[in-house]
Structure 1
Amino acid sequence: MTQPIAPPILDFSPFYGADGEAKAKLVEEVRKCCHYNGFFQITGHRVPLELQRRVMECSKRFFDLPLEEKLQIDKSELSYQSPADTTLTFTDHNSFNRGYELLRSQMLEAGTGPELKEGLYIGEEIPEDHPYFVQKKLNSGPNQWPQTVSDKEEFQKTTMEYYHAVFELAKDVLGVVALTLGVESSFFKPLTDGAVATMRYLHYPAQPKDKDEKLNRGIGAHTDFGCVTLLLQDEVDGLQVLDAPTGQWLDVKPVPGAYVINLGDLFMRMANDKYKSNTHRVINKSGKERYSIPFFFSGNPDYLCECLPNCREPGEAAKYPPITVQDMVSASYKESYGRAEKYKKESESKKMDATPAVTAVGA
């Protein structure tokens, strides 16, 4: 029987060094992980531990705000004050996707309840005259910053410093993945130039251990939408990865300074299903609050995703037609949020049906 394999912890530093043997070993380890379940952890990267700690503290400061203050930047009712002092209101959060997200707004696993997490969505600062904003490209627009968080200037500066550091690391990760395909590390430059990425501050409230985990998941079982995800965890566990050969759920223990890396659906599609976008979930049974900061790297929205080199056997056809990053990821967002809205409407309808009619007395 196959033994379940948890995502291994790999030293990423050889990618930056001159030791060819160590670099080749790293590439081979990453290649094996991509074929097995698309998950691994890395240490030895270039994002400073001190910056990781500062950004995690920023996340906690935001979620400590009263709900009414967080709702001032509700991403489902986006508003942005332009330089001309004209308030623009955006309602299509599937294409803009910046700001605060309430608990139970998303539902990634059918048959569960909407998810027990709240978030703050952040991306590159896109001014209103930028082509991505004008053309309503994927997740592209100005950030919505909390105005009542303590030391808000430092909050914004640290957040964006971290965003750009992890953006560069995502490009490095794709450079190693390119080497696993037998091509140059620069192969994905057309994908990473002008790329869109979304970072989330996430907070999972503590929940009683006797809660029904089917209905009260932090995040339901799902695969990620884009190319690659880089996750920073705090000290509280809860992330689980499905080991497909055995059907077991494996805990991914937090490692100080490490990133959990996983491939997304878009990359698996380009790899003709040879590299895996694997199912994972979060169930916070710790009795504590949990914080994490995932970084979802989608790519240039206009990049045409086609079958990658060395991902087909001779004579084997590509399983999927070409598709842009924009179309692939947008459709996935729409499905997950639509599922949550449908669940809520059905729940409300059941409550109304179960409420007995009230007869007026003395009519």
Structure 2
Amino acid sequence: MTTAAAPPILDFSPFYGNDSEAKAKLVEEVRKCCHYNGFFQITGHRVPLELQKRVMECSKRFFNLPLEEKLQINKSETKSTFGDNSVDFADHNSFNRGYELLRSQMLEAGTGPELKEGLYIGEEIPEDHPYFLQKKLNSGPNQWPQTVPDKEEFQKTTMEYYHATFELAKDVLGVVALTLGVESSFFEPLTEGAVATMRYLHYPAQPKDEDEKLNRGIGAHTDFGCVTLLLQDEIDGLQVLDAPSGQWLDVKPTPGAYVINLGDLFMRMANDKYKSNTHRVINKSGKERYSIPFFFSGNPDYLCECLPNCREPGESAKYPPITVQDMVTSAYKDSYGRAEKYKKELEAKKLDVGPALTAVGA
């Protein structure tokens, strides 16, 4: 993998079969990708194409709602009601459920807040669950839209897809474990009781003459957690940085395929041997774009330490141990804080310019 090339499409089906040679080939291909830039694509998995199509239609139905109806489940509101109970969302970066407005996040310094809106979904965590009571990462009841057409089917399909992708994430980590020379079950302590966040994302069409640096769908960034599984619609826009060449490589949508990438937490555990690579979204298509990323963080209390076979003899671990909870929460605070700071600076500039213009007019 010495020449710049978009993440390869790998047939994942040998992981489920008895062909040891084909399985060994898959493991070696994944190992090379993890070393190179942490990105690859897979087909031959167990998430049905029919389910993928249904969940993408659910996403479009939600984003077609009027803004005021989407805002009924705004995840940044301080209060939301579930039945007769009032839930405090003041610390929404850790709870992380519901609708997110355009330009709420800013992952790349020097750009504008991002041109995307989202719906954050996770496992249904009841209010008496220890994760909810202890304010664990991304843990609580989902906020479901009440006015989306066929809302019962919307919820059922969404959670059916969530659980299917959750299982696939565990399978992906099973293959990654094999690349490290350990059993495929090695990450079971990480995946048992794991937290994951699924997002419905909508990127409005942006005029082709807009400044792409200020109006990116998602700015250049790396993901926070362990592994991400991305389902794209037919509109491209995802770009992955090829670090050796400095080129941005387009990741063309492939029906049924998942784009897989490792996150910062995994790179940390791998002592930087496996990569969490920079990527971004710039929607130049002139069309609306939809995607559904699935961010697998892990058990919030899992202590992330240097993985087997990720240190040379005599080499020390580069990072001290850290829990999943602490690592991912810190990254959330940085990205959302950056967007809020940018907006406040813009407002301050407007206030500074206003009196000056008045003085000139006088």
* TM-score interval, smaller chain: over 0.9
Q: Contact (CA 8 Å) 1:178, 1:185: kept in 2 or not?
A: yes
Q: Which residue of 2 aligns with 1:321?
A: 320
Distance 1:359 1:17, change over 3 A: closer
Q: Which residue of 2 aligns with 1:157?
A: 156
Q: Which residue of 1 aligns with 2:27?
A: 27
What SS does structure 1 have at the residue aligned with 2:95? coil
Q: Which residue of 2 aligns with 1:237?
A: 236
Q: Is residue 218 from structure 1 mapped to residue 217 from structure 2 by the alignment? A: yes
Deviation at 1:78, TM superposition (A): 5.2
Q: Which residue of 1 aligns with 2:49?
A: 49
Q: Contact (CA 8 Å) 2:125, 2:132: kept in 1 or not?
A: yes
Cα distance in 2, alignment partners of residues 56 and 191 from structure 1: 29
The amino acid of 2:75's aligned partner reads: K
Deviation at 1:2, TM superposition (A): 4.8
Q: Deviations over 1:113-165 (max 9, x none)?
A: 00000000000000000000000000000000000000000000000000000
Q: Deviations over 1:253-282 (max 9, x none)?
A: 000000000000000000000000000000
Cα distance in 2, alignment partners of residues 357 and 268 from structure 1: 50
The amino acid of 1:300's aligned partner reads: N
Deviation at 1:79, TM superposition (A): 3.8
How many residues are treated as equivalent by the alignment? 359
The amino acid of 2:247's aligned partner reads: Q
Structure 1 segment 162-241 matched on structure 2, within 5 A: 162-241=161-240
The amino acid of 1:7's aligned partner reads: P
The amino acid of 2:108's aligned partner reads: E
Deviation at 1:80, TM superposition (A): 4.1
Q: Is residue 331 from structure 1 mapped to residue 330 from structure 2 by the alignment? A: yes
User: Could you state the TM-score of these two structures normalised by the residue count of structure 1?
Assistant: 0.97
Q: Contact (CA 8 Å) 1:2, 1:246: kept in 2 or not?
A: no
Gaps of 5+ in 1: none
The amino acid of 1:57's aligned partner reads: E
Q: Which residue of 1 aligns with 2:140?
A: 141
Q: Contact (CA 8 Å) 1:78, 1:98: kept in 2 or not?
A: no
Q: Contact (CA 8 Å) 1:197, 1:297: kept in 2 or not?
A: yes
Cα distance in 1, alignment partners of residues 122 and 328 from structure 2: 15
Q: Contact (CA 8 Å) 2:95, 2:135: kept in 1 or not?
A: yes
Q: Which residue of 1 aligns with 2:305?
A: 306
Q: Deviations over 1:156-200 (max 9, x none)?
A: 000000000000000000000000000000000000000000000
The amino acid of 2:41's aligned partner reads: Q
Distance 1:310 1:166, change over 3 A: same
Cα distance in 2, alignment partners of residues 268 and 78 from structure 1: 34
Cα distance in 1, alignment partners of residues 42 and 216 from structure 2: 26
Deviation at 1:353, TM superposition (A): 0.7
Q: Contact (CA 8 Å) 1:78, 1:99: kept in 2 or not?
A: no
Cα distance in 1, alignment partners of residues 230 and 183 from structure 2: 25
**More deviation, 213-222/349-358:** 349-358
Cα distance in 2, alignment partners of residues 334 and 290 from structure 1: 26
Cα distance in 2, alignment partners of residues 173 and 160 from structure 1: 20
Deviation at 1:291, TM superposition (A): 0.1
Distance 1:78 1:143, change over 3 A: farther
User: Could you state the TM-score of these two structures normalised by the residue count of structure 2?
Assistant: 0.97
Cα distance in 1, alignment partners of residues 128 and 2 from structure 2: 55
Q: Deviations over 1:2-51 (max 9, x none)?
A: 52121000000000000000000000000000000000000000000000
Q: Which residue of 2 aligns with 1:90?
A: 89
Gaps of 5+ in 2: none
Cα distance in 1, alignment partners of residues 351 and 211 from structure 2: 24
Distance 1:78 1:176, change over 3 A: farther
Q: Deviations over 1:37-90 (max 9, x none)?
A: 00000000000000000000000000000000000000001544345x132332
Cα distance in 2, alignment partners of residues 169 and 2 from structure 1: 29
Q: Deviations over 1:289-330 (max 9, x none)?
A: 000000000000000000000000000000000000000000
Cα distance in 2, alignment partners of residues 314 and 248 from structure 1: 34
The amino acid of 1:170's aligned partner reads: A
The amino acid of 2:56's aligned partner reads: M
**How large is the RMSD of aligned CA atoms in angstroms?**
1.3
Q: Contact (CA 8 Å) 2:73, 2:80: kept in 1 or not?
A: no
Structure 1 segment 215-294 matched on structure 2, within 5 A: 215-294=214-293
The amino acid of 1:67's aligned partner reads: L
Cα distance in 1, alignment partners of residues 17 and 262 from structure 2: 24
Structure 1 segment 90-109 matched on structure 2, within 5 A: 90-109=89-108
Distance 1:7 1:359, change over 3 A: closer
Cα distance in 1, alignment partners of residues 327 and 131 from structure 2: 17
Distance 1:18 1:359, change over 3 A: closer
Q: Give the % identical residues.
A: 89
Q: Contact (CA 8 Å) 2:97, 2:121: kept in 1 or not?
A: yes
Structure 1 segment 352-363 matched on structure 2, within 5 A: 352-356=351-355
